[in-house]
Amino acid sequence: MDLKRRQPLGVELVKRGIVGEADIEKALQYQREHPNRKLGDILYILGLGDPEKLIEAIGDILGTKGILLDASTVKLDITEYMSLDIAQKNKVVPFEVSSGKIKVCFANTVNNRDMETVRMLLLNKGLVMESYITFESDIEKYLKSLEGEAVESSVEVSAQGGTITSLVDSIIKTGMEKRASDIHIEPMQDKVRVRYRIDGELINAAFIGKEKQTQIIGRLKAISNMHQEKQESQDGRILLYDDYNIRVSSQPNVYGEKFVLRLLKKNADIRNVFELGYPGNEESLNKSINKRNSITIIAAPTGEGKTTTLYSMIDFLNRPQINITTIEDPVEIRIDGLNQIEIEKKATFANSLRTVLRQDPDVILVGEIRDLETAEIAIQAGQTGHYVLSTIHTIDSVEVINRLRKLGVSDYDIASTLATSISQRLVRRLCPECKHEREFTEEEKEIINKISNKYNLGINLEGTKTYDAVGCKHCNNTGYYERIGVFEILDITDEIKDLLVKGASSIEIRNKALELGYKPLVVDGIQKVLNGTTNLQELNNKLLFF
According to the model, what pLDDT value does residue 161 have? 52
According to the model, what pLDDT value does residue 6 have? 44
> Do residues 420 and 288 lie in contact, with contact meaning Cβ atoms separated by under 8 Å?
yes
Residues 384-393: what's their mean pLDDT?
A: 92
Can you tell me the distance from the alpha carbon of 367 to that of 310, in angstroms, rounded to the nearest whole number? 9
Could you tell me the pLDDT band of residue 342, with boundaries at 50, 70 and 90? confident
Percent of the chain topping pLDDT 90: 55
Can you tell me the distance from the alpha carbon of 38 to that of 31, in angstroms, rounded to the nearest whole number? 7
Whether residue 236 has pLDDT greater than 90: yes
Could you tell me the pLDDT band of residue 128, with boundaries at 50, 70 and 90? very high
Which of 71-75, 91-95, 143-147, 356-360 is the least confident region? 143-147
Could you tell me the pLDDT band of residue 147, with boundaries at 50, 70 and 90? low
CB atoms within 10 A of CB 7: 12
Signed CA dihedral, 7, 9, 12, 17: sign only: negative
According to the model, what pLDDT value does residue 414 have? 96
According to the model, what pLDDT value does residue 504 have? 95
Whether residue 148 has pLDDT greater than 60: no
Can you tell me the distance from the alpha carbon of 109 to that of 132, in angstroms, rounded to the nearest whole number? 8
Question: If you average pLDDT over every residue of the chain, what do you get?
Answer: 88
DSSP bridge partners of 246 = 238, 263
The pair phi, psi for residue 169, each rounded to 5°, is: -60, -40
Whether residue 157 has pLDDT greater than 70: no
Closest residue by Cα to residue 296 from 210, 391, 368: 391
Task: Name all domains of the chain by residue range, CATH numbers in brackets.
Answer: 1-62 (no CATH), 164-265 (3.30.450.90), 282-428+483-522 (3.40.50.300)
> Greatest CA separation found in the chain?
88
Q: What is the pTM of this model?
A: 0.76
Could you tell me the pLDDT band of residue 9, with boundaries at 50, 70 and 90? confident
The angle formed by the CA atoms of residues 252, 256 and 260, to the nearest 5 degrees, is 60
Question: Nearest 10 degrees: CA dihedral of 90, 92, 94, 99?
Answer: -70
One DSSP character per residue, 273-299 reads TTTTT--S-HHHHHHHH--SSEEEEEE
One DSSP character per residue, 202-232 reads EEEEEEEEGGGHHHHHHHHHHHTT--SS--S
Describe the chain by its helix, strand, coil percentages, rounded to 5. 40, 25, 35
Closest residue by Cα to residue 92 from 77, 116, 108: 108
For 30-69, write each residue's pLDDT tens digit: 888 888 888 999 999 899 989 999 999 999 998 899 999 9
Could you tell me the pLDDT band of residue 123, with boundaries at 50, 70 and 90? confident
